[in-house]
Amino acid sequence: MNQSSSLHSLGIGIATRNSRDEIIEVYYPLVLRDPHSELVEALRSCCAYAGGNVHSVISEAQLTELLGSPFVAADKALSALLRQLNESTQDVCAMFISEDSAPSSVPEVYLKLHLLSHRLCKPHSLNLTGAFGVLQNVAWTNQGAIDLADLPARQLQARLKGELLEVMSVDKFPKMSNYVVPKGVRIAHTARVRLGAYLGEGTTIMHEGFVNFNAGTEGPAMIEGRISAGVMIGSGSDLGGGCSTMGTLSGGGTEIISVGKDCLIGANSGIGFPLGDRCIVEAGLYVTAGTKVLVLDNANQVVGTMKARELSNKSDLLFRRNSVTGAVECKANKTAIALNEELHTHN
């Protein structure tokens, strides 16, 4: 947008309610960061928006009024979308975020998750404190999101029609691909990438790869392991099959785990501290922050002992386990991995 407004973010979408008239999820086909001031003013007028982080259900009359504003009328794509939303049988919801505080409503959480998956905001740039407590477990089905209390009746209705209501998962977070498919990514098993994941262009998520919300990849990357909540993977890095990155949610930790550029986390290995660039962790080796590491010189002689956390964010390191003594060793890494360009160019 070419003109700033007082809003941090804006989303207009379709909300799903349960039988208690509570919103349980929102799909936002329109997601804007720093929306144009004229659009904000048009919404402020038709929705009586007075400020703050609030959501508003837009009536048919309000949408008609919005479509009549000069700014919306001049934007063909925006006016076409709003006309489509005006035909929805579900609630059309506008979510306004004026400041990045902890989310207090389902529409607010969903807008922040959309912002991440649309690459409009990077992990750790949005306040998602308490998001788990705001959301409720939902049955994610081939007929959309269904409140668990409403599920038995909906299943019976489907059977009476000779249909099957398929429940793919029961979770607080949906899969990303039902809401956002960012440009230039390949996801072999879509159920393993949650909404709120940030996938940089050129990222490949293989069948056993997993990406949690508020986590992801900077750019081209091969992910066959687990990216836990809060973890960011640098461009050019490779997470081998079955490997794991320790998230900040596990155990109540506060350290932000990250992987630098051009790193290799070997199959069935893992890390519990942030890696710098061009680092390798050999297959099968899990290095936690408190792991005692023998530091080797170029002649493979021990020059010191330290905990892995003391090597946080250091580049060009190779972590391995001595096959004779079982000790974890660290030495200078003289090689760097290179991803296959053809595999990571996704059109």
Which residues fall within 8 angstroms of residue 195, CB to CB, at 6 or more apart? 110, 113, 114, 117, 173, 174, 175, 176, 178, 179, 180, 213
Mean pLDDT of 142-155: 97
- What is the rounded distance in angstroms from the CA atom of residue 106 to the CA atom of residue 11? 13
Tell me which DSSP letter residue 193 carries: B
Instruction: Indicate whether 338 pLDDT > 60.
Output: no
Domain boundaries, the chain: 9-132, 137-171, 176-344
Residues with catalytic annotation? 224
- Neighbouring-strand partners of residue 187: 205
Tell me which DSSP letter residue 158 carries: H
Instruction: Indicate whether 347 pLDDT > 80.
Output: no
Mean pLDDT of 153-171: 97
The CATH fold assigned to 137-171 is: Wheat Germ Agglutinin (Isolectin 2); domain 1 (3.30.60)
- The alpha helices in 49-150, defined as continuous H runs, are 60-67, 70-74, 76-86, 106-117, 131-134
Q: What is the pLDDT of residues 14-37, one digit of tens each?
A: 999 999 999 999 999 999 999 999
Q: What pLDDT band is residue 342 in, cutting at 50, 70 and 90?
A: very low
Write a three-state SS string for 57-74.
EECHHHHHHHHCCHHHHH
CATH code of the domain occupying 176-344: 2.160.10.10
Q: What is the pLDDT of residues 202-257, one digit of tens each?
A: 999 999 999 999 999 998 999 999 999 999 999 999 999 999 999 865 544 567 89
CATH code of the domain occupying 9-132: 3.30.70.2010
Q: What is the pLDDT of residues 92-141, one digit of tens each?
A: 999 999 999 999 999 999 999 999 999 999 999 999 999 999 999 999 99
